[in-house]
Structure 1
């Protein structure tokens, strides 16, 4: 786990990159846009990554940490800390990044007769359905493993 700001930045970049890649492909599939893959799609993924990283580092990450550590659980148990942080992060990131998804969808197709609020709620629901298990079961363990095996030893050796 990250122990300082530099490690936190590297860990955040790794986690955001993985989550944005998978979530972008997922959203392209469910919106039937996977067949229209183009340079614009790559550009949208890069913009999505930059927005997600800024949200992670400046808003959602600090807020999730604050909320997670205020919860009544045994903070000496690493698994509880990971579950609390991951849950708070996924909820915050899904709520925020779904706004990005809504704006992208409205610019591409309009609302198709839906209200803005109902369209947003559907995007949140669809994103949460994948993001939460993806974070808990795949991306979280994968990024933590790669970080602890390859990144942290190099950062520790450099000090």
Structure 2
């Protein structure tokens, strides 16, 4: 949907905002941290998570996912397979990296003990992937595309009416 670099940035900001908010809430709930950490600590986690997610989406995961999708799809005019494959690639990439961030945060907060680093990472990755994929495919992705499409249509209508 985004056609220009500026539109890609806005689209990425919208997508990251939605995913980071929901994934942060999900992780707070699954780790039993609601009510145990302060609002400011949650806010700091949201901000830091958003910055990391946006940088990863913009410079690492997004470009790689785009290359994978365009190399796998023969019919690039078919929107639904492109959207689903892009969402799948983005979720796999983002969950891979953001689970590392989650693991580092958990170790920093001393909330993980006992199991090996790999075992803890795999557990975090699996829990996040199971939640993130349907969240992206069914809620955040369609909502962001709808809002972005309306904003883009309004801008086109404004530019047409001023001409």
TM normalised by structure 2 equals 0.92
- Asked if the contact 2:103/2:120 (under 8 Å) is kept, the reply is yes
Aligned to 1:5: 5
RMSD of aligned Cα (Å)? 1.4
The 5-angstrom pairing of residues 7-156 of structure 1 reads 7-38=7-38, 39-150=40-151, 152-156=152-156
Mapped partners of 2:45, 2:148: distance in 1? 27
Structure number with larger C-alpha Rg: 2
Mapped partners of 2:155, 2:129: distance in 1? 33
Mapped partners of 2:60, 2:127: distance in 1? 22
Deviations along 1:12-57, whole A, 9 cap, x unmatched? Answer: 0000000000000000000000112420111011000000000000
Q: How far off is 1:158 after superposition?
A: 5.3
Q: How far off is 1:145 after superposition?
A: 0.2
Mapped partners of 2:63, 2:159: distance in 1? 27
- Hey, which bits of structure 1, 4+ residues long, moved more than 2 A? 153-159
Mapped partners of 1:20, 1:154: distance in 2? 27
Mapped partners of 1:46, 1:107: distance in 2? 17
Mapped partners of 2:67, 2:91: distance in 1? 14
TM normalised by structure 1 equals 0.94
Q: Structure 2 unaligned runs (5+)?
A: none
Q: Partner of 1:114: helix, strand, or coil?
A: coil
Mapped partners of 1:37, 1:95: distance in 2? 25
Q: Tell which has more relative contact order, 1 or 2 (C-alpha 8 A, sep 6+).
A: 1
Q: Structure 1 unaligned runs (5+)?
A: none
